[in-house]
Every structure is written in C-alpha cells, then in structure tokens.
Amino acid sequence: MQKKGYHIAVLGATGAVGQQMLKTLEIKDFPISKLTLLSSARSAGKKVQFKGIEHTVEEVNPESFAGVDIALFSAGGSVSKEYAEHAKRHGAIVVDNTSAFRMDKNVPLVVPEVNEQDLFNHQGIIANPNCSTIQMVVALEPIRQTYGLSKVIVSTYQAVSGSGTAAVEELYEQTKAIIHNEEYTPEILPVKGDKKHYQIAFNAIPQIDLFMENGYTFEEMKMINETKKIMNLPNLHVAATCVRLPVPTGHSESIYFEVDKADITPQNIKDLLADAPGVELQDDPLNQVYPMPANCVDKSEVFIGRIRKDLDEVRGFHMWVVSDNLLKGAAWNSVQIAESLIKLGIVK
Amino acid sequence: MQKKGYHIAVLGATGAVGQQMLKTLEIKDFPISKLTLLSSARSAGKKVQFKGIEHTVEEVNPESFAGVDIALFSAGGSVSKEYAEHAKRHGAIVVDNTSAFRMDKNVPLVVPEVNEQDLFNHQGIIANPNCSTIQMVVALEPIRQTYGLSKVIVSTYQAVSGSGTAAVEELYEQTKAIIHNEEYTPEILPVKGDKKHYQIAFNAIPQIDLFMENGYTFEEMKMINETKKIMNLPNLHVAATCVRLPVPTGHSESIYFEVDKADITPQNIKDLLADAPGVELQDDPLNQVYPMPANCVDKSEVFIGRIRKDLDEVRGFHMWVVSDNLLKGAAWNSVQIAESLIKLGIVK
C-alpha cells in the first residue's frame, strides 16, 4: 500500500532545472508529505514558492537527508558526488540529474518509457540521462521494439537553457546589444568552464561541453554512450554532432536511423509513434505540421515529425524530434523516475 | 587573347543576391567594360552604387541583352525562364542563380572548384547551384578525388537571408518584438508562398521551400539531386534535412560521409582540405577553433572544421561546414563562373 505522501528533497532548488522540478512536482500533483529544498551555500536563504507556500532554501549538509524518501539532485556533478552517499546513508534514493554517475555500471540510467524495469537494480542512486539523449531514446525505443534498430546518426539543435539560466540571460542580453548596435562580451557560452567564449545570438556554435582528444565533445559522447546503456544495445551504432543555437528552450534533433527489417514504410513508423508513451506525433508536412522548439516549451511530451524514408537505404529513415530540454530532458524525467519508484513499490 | 573588359548584365540587381553580386564584381575587380543593371518593373528606377558611380536600374525587356557578354540572373525562377532565351538570342551567356534550369540536362550546373570543365558543354545557360549544395560539394570534392565517396547524410542550419532581404528584416523585427514583449505576426518564413508562417526568432523551423509528396522539401531534394549532378556521381547516396535558423547570414552543415577506402584518418582528410581550392580549414577543437556562421559573413571561402572519424564505421567521417550563403552560396559562385568562362576562353 502506498503512503499518502513522501518526503522529497530537491538539491539545487534555485537552478534552472531545480525550478522546473518544483513546477513539475506541483503540476503533476506529486504526493508530498514534506518538501526539503537544498542548495549550495551561494543560493542558501533564497525564498522559493511551492503550491503557494514560501519555502526557504537551506544550505545542504551531510545530515540534510534525514527522513528523506527521494532526493532529486540537480546542483552539478561535484555536489552530487559529495552528497549522494550521505543521502543513501539516510535511506533516501537519489535521482541524480548530473552526469556524475550516469555511466557507473551500478547506477541505472533511466527513461521510464524505455527502461523503467532497470530501477529495480538500483543501489541507492538512479541517474537521469542527458537532456538530448532522453528525447531521442523516447522516439527510438518504440521503433526498436517493433522493427529493431542498428544505426543512429543525430545532429542536434540545442537550446541555451541547457547551460543554465545565466546562459539564457546571456542570449537575451547579447541579442539586445546586437540589435541596438552596442558592445558586448560573451562570457558564458559555449561552455562556462572553457577558455574562449563566443557570440550565441544570431549564431550557431558546434560545441556543447568540452572537447575530448578524439575530436568529439563530452555532450556528443554522452549521447552515444547513454543511448547504448539506456536502450541496452551495447553494439548499436550511434554518432552525434551537437550544436548550440540561439533558442532559449527546446532541443531539436535531426535523426537518421536504420531498422533491422526491410519493407517498413514511414506510415508504419508514424502509426507506431502515434501510440507510443510520452510521444506526440506532429507529422503532416503538406499542412506544415512539424515540431518546433518555440511550440514545445512547458510541455512534457517528446514531439516527433518529418518521418520519411531514406531514398537510398531500404532500412533507413529520417525524423525530427523536439522536446522541452528542461522538462522531459531533465525535471520531468526526474519526477517521472520518482513516480515510477513509487508505482513499482521500490519506494514504500 | 582576353578583351580588356566585358559587358556584364545583372538581372535582379536590387535583391539580396544581386547586391552581393555587384559587391563581389567590385571587390574581385572583375574586368567590366559596360554594366547593365536590370530588374522587374517593381524595382526599376532604383539607384545602385557600383565603384562609386550611381547606376539606375532599368526594367528588363526582351532587348535588354543586346551586346551583353555575360548575364548574371538572380530575379527568381519565373523571370529566368522568361528572359534566358532572349539573352541567348543576343549572344549573351546566362549564369542563372535560380532553380529554373539546374536539373535541365542541357544546362551545366557548376561549382568551379568541382566541375569547371562542364562549362564547355554550355548551350547558352549555366546554372548556379543551390546555396546549401555549393558549400557541401566544395568540401566533399577533394575527398572524393582522393579517397572516393559513397554516402552523404547532411543536416543543415540555414540562415534567413537565403529567403531574401525581407526575411532578414522579419527576423530582426520579430526579435525586437519578442524582446520588448510586443505582438508580431509572422508573414514570410518559413516560405513566402506557403500557407502558414511561423516565428523564426529564437526558434528552428524544419522547412525550407515547399514540401513534396515524398515528405522531403524541395530544398532537400535540391541538395540531393544537385550534389549528384555537380559531382557527376549519379549513384551517390545522399540524404538531407534542411532547417532554418534565426541566423541572418551563414549556412552551417553537419555532414556525415563515407569514403571508399578504409584506414583513412581524420588527419588525412584535414591535410587534403587544408590545400583544397576555396576551402579554409578551421579545425583545432582543443583550442575551440571551428567554423561558425557569425564569423563567415562577407568571406568567400568555405570553412571546414570538426573533422572526426565515426566511432563505428571504418569509412565514416563527420565534419562541420560553414559559408556565407549569399557569397559562395550565390553571388561569388556566379561571378566565379563568369571568371572561369573568361579564363577558359569560352567568353572571348
């Protein structure tokens, strides 16, 4: 029997994703008996509204998780690494939205529409995948289940809110400066911690996260490795090119994929995706119906359109996948994991 | 022996590309003995500067091309169809920047770095390819020559100036409206002649040109068919997804390609492209060096970076290709064709 409510902690409550987590917990009417809002020292003391009640954000400490059932972490990888064990020690299950534990083989990496059952293997920590990965696997999993999947080549069109609220602010301030012919100095994008910063307004930057020695960015390698782990397809061919756009919120993806079966039509894929969990099909090109980032904001679905057959490869298809990177890409997927933990009886 | 100068006509002299053609003729110090500036009735009478001298744009008529050596057309497909024969009748060679004749088997479709020799087959009309095709084939041709080429999958990130100056204006006006929280009504993009118009500011629209019954846009089919024709590879596998971005000028492309030879390294490709005609390599990811649209404006090169090997396909590579869509994508390629016509002695 389910409890009437659960003690939920949100670590990183004042950040872009933390704020969306609170909004999502509110909208989805998540059963909460107690809410503990935590942050680093820098943001502690800030006031945050939840269901009309003002909460004060507390500075996280090793004892913050006493009595917590589920702790939603979204305060950066180093904070997760420091506090996950403390949360576990107090019996909380951590749902971590950073990349700290995603590729740890003892940590399930979960998108409920794809691999909800992996939650049973948790050892106290569950990882929430990278935003650009989540929306892609939601689109690909129904296809894999019915027609098999051997290859994925994705080019992304990613929004700046993936880099946090300060990056969104930078986009708007830079845009204003350019329009008014004023000076500006890029300070955050493409990557706060990297050496150089570039104009994002009216531009496209082919760098998200730092570069690795192999010429790929960490973001690209996240998409590649996380997709294989979530879908449990270690031999799937996956390639990714990740690009930052002057879009505040909403990631788009141009995805080429190959199924195992021949003779599959675009209509077969459309029929499948029209009924797929978490998906809204928007695919009527002759009436100019297709997903766009400006239309996906504040919605929890993954929007899919432009499904068409490759003209050369009998097993090849193309599609265009858009979702709110702060919701399904982060906050909503985390809250969904929390819902699944309750539904499956893992959190009692 | 070359003449000291040629009689050049520019049809569509007041448009976005026409203006860039004049600028390019000026910068490249093209040998001009006489310049005739033409337009439709709507723009006739406008004043245009060329090398400090004011020219009045005349309304085109069937006799406008008397004595003209080379006529650069960029006033829309229907205007090209109406006047190309008149220009031919007067002995002019037409370099047409519209899609009117591109797939006509009697019309060479030329990117001088790739297939300059095809100019010898002209019958009075030479077609300038689509902007997004040109920059891609400039990047692919040196690779094909040395290592072979079997497959191309491209996702584009295209600027609004590809839709004309009014579309650029719409981007800026919409951006201002959104920033100042004012109302606006999209009226041009994604396609002026289509039924619905969408916000382009802070958005990404997966439609360029109209849709065909097969689910592809005309823009995508242009990239596919023109690439095969220019490179003279009818059996090349080419797939394209074309997306419009809130970028004023500068098309970017995420290109996956497969060569015929195995054991080719990214360094092999880089060495090749570093010396390739019309190319500037910008590929040093660890120092955050890669091409971006904001840096390519007013430059005639095709900029290439992010060259890396696919992690699964031994013959597969990825790269990121950026160029000024009004210059190499249109005006510069047209003027370059005119230069080649003189250099090869086709126009005497």
Residue range A242-296, pLDDT digits in tens: 999 999 999 999 999 999 999 999 999 999 999 999 999 999 999 999 999 999 9
Quote the pLDDT of residue A68: 98
Residue B102 labeled ligand binder: yes
Interface mutation target, options A288, A304, A321, A325, chain B, most CBs of B under 10 Å: A288
**Over the stretch A52-68, which tens digit does the pLDDT of each residue have?**
999 999 999 999 999 99
- Of the candidates B89, B73, B95, the one whose C-alpha atom is nearest the C-alpha of residue B10 is B73
Angle subtended at Cα B174 by Cα B171 and Cα B175, rounded to the nearest 5 degrees: 80
Q: Is A242 a catalytic residue?
A: no
Please tell me the distance from the alpha carbon of residue B178 to that of residue A171, in angstroms, as a whole number: 13
CB A312 within 8 A of CB A235: no
The answer to whether the Cβ–Cβ distance between A206 and B252 falls below 8 Å is: yes
Q: B5 labelled as ligand-binding?
A: no
The pLDDT-based confidence of B2 (bands split at 50, 70, 90) is low
Tell me: the pLDDT tens digits for A205-248? Answer: 999 999 999 999 999 999 999 999 999 999 999 999 999 999 99
Please give the pLDDT value at position A13. 96
CA dihedral B159, B163, B166, B172 (to 10 degrees): -20
Q: What is the mean pLDDT of chain B?
A: 97
User: Is residue B122 among the annotated active site residues?
Assistant: no
Q: Which tokens belong to B123?
A: 């019958």
In angstroms, the Cα distances linking A44 to A14, A48, A293, B84 are 9, 11, 33, 71
A252 contacts B206? CB cut-off 8 A: yes
> Of A7, A122, A131, A242, which is the active-site residue?
A131
pLDDT at A211: 98
Place of tokens 């995805």: A255
* Residue B43 assigned as binding residue: yes
Q: Which of B7, B86, B131, B296 is catalytic?
A: B131
pLDDT band for B309, please (50, 70, 90 cuts).
very high
B309 and A215: CB-CB below 8 Å? yes
ipTM: 0.96
What distance in Å separates residue B300's CA from the closest CA in chain A?
18
Of A203, A247, A287, the CB nearest to B294: A203
Query: Would you place residue A119 in the very low, low, confident or very high pLDDT band (cuts 50, 70, 90)?
Result: very high
Name the 3-class secondary structure at A113. helix
- In this complex, which of A179, A206, A306 lies closest to B290 when CB atoms are compared? A206
Rounded mean pLDDT, A91-112: 97
Query: Domains in chain B, ordered, with CATH?
Result: 6-129+330-343 (3.40.50.720), 133-325 (3.30.360.10)
Q: What is the pLDDT of residues B196-219, one digit of tens each?
A: 999 999 999 999 999 999 999 999
Indicate the pLDDT class of residue B20, thresholds 50, 70 and 90.
Answer: very high
- Give residue-wise pLDDT tens across range A131-157: 999 999 999 999 999 999 999 999 999
Q: How confident is the model at residue A2 (pLDDT cuts 50, 70, 90)?
A: low
Which of B191, B292, B313 to substitute to test the interface with A, most A CBs within 10 Å? B292
User: Does residue B259 carry a pLDDT above 90?
Assistant: yes
- pLDDT value at residue A4: 80
pLDDT for B243 equals: 98
Query: Quick one: average pLDDT of B139-145?
Result: 98
Residue in A closest to B236 by C-alpha: A312
| Catalytic residue, candidates A7, A242, A251, A296 | A251
Query: Binding site annotation covers B249?
Result: no
Confidence check: pLDDT of A3 > 90: no
Cβ contacts below 8 Å, chain A against chain B, sum to 168
Does residue A297 register a pLDDT over 70? Answer: yes
Locate A215 and state its tokens: 């010429």
CB contact under 8 A, A246 and B202: yes
Q: Is residue B165's pLDDT more than 70? A: yes
Q: Which residues of B touch A202 (CB under 8 A)?
A: 246-248, 294
Q: Which residue of B has its CA nearest to A257?
A: B153
Which chain A residues have a beta carbon less than 8 Å from that of B217?
A: 285
Task: Indicate the pLDDT class of residue B4, thresholds 50, 70 and 90.
Answer: confident
CA distance linking residue A45 with residue B79, whole number of Å: 67
Check whether B67 is labelled as a binding-site residue.
Answer: no
What percent of chain B is predicted at pLDDT more than 90? 98
The alpha helices in A180-327, defined as continuous H runs, are: 218-230, 266-274, 293-296
CA of B288, closest CA in chain A: separation in Å?
7
Q: Is A42 annotated as a binding residue?
A: yes
- Which DSSP letter does residue B325 get? T
